[in-house]
Amino acid sequence: MAVGRLVPVRDFRRLVGIWAKVLDKVPDAELVIVGEGYERPLIEAEVARLGVSGSVRLPGRISDAELLDLYRRSWAATSVSVREGWGMTLTEAAACGTPAVATDIAGHADAVVKDRSGLLADHDDDLAAALVSVLTDSVLRNRLESGALQRAGELTWQHAALANFEVLAADARARAGRRQ
Range of the domain at 119: 2-154
Inside any domain, residue 162? no
Q: E-strand spans in the chain?
A: 2-3, 31-34, 56-60, 77-79, 100-103, 118-121
Inside any domain, residue 41? yes
Per-residue pLDDT, 163: 78
Inside any domain, residue 177? no
Q: What is the pTM of this model?
A: 0.88
Q: What is the CATH number of the domain that holds 136?
A: 3.40.50.2000
Per-residue pLDDT, 162: 84
The DSSP-derived string for 137-176 is -HHHHHHHHHHHHHHHHH-SHHHHHHHHHHHHHHHHHHHH
| Number of independent structural domains in the chain | 1
Q: Is residue 134 within 8 Å of 140, Cβ to Cβ?
A: yes
Inside any domain, residue 138? yes
Inside any domain, residue 62? yes
Inside any domain, residue 132? yes
Per-residue pLDDT, 180: 67
- Give per-residue burial for 118-129: e unless 16+ CB within 10 Å, then b: bbbbeeeebbbb
Per-residue pLDDT, 160: 74
Per-residue pLDDT, 67: 98
Inside any domain, residue 169? no
Phi, psi of 145 (to 5 degrees): -60, -45
Per-residue pLDDT of the chain (180 residues; tens, 9 = 90+): 999 999 999 999 999 999 999 999 999 999 999 999 999 999 999 999 999 999 999 999 999 999 999 999 999 999 999 999 999 999 999 999 999 999 999 999 999 999 999 999 999 999 999 999 999 999 999 999 999 999 999 988 887 788 788 888 888 899 988 876
Per-residue pLDDT, 25: 98
Per-residue pLDDT, 117: 97
Q: Is residue 78 within 8 Å of 121, Cβ to Cβ?
A: no
Inside any domain, residue 178? no
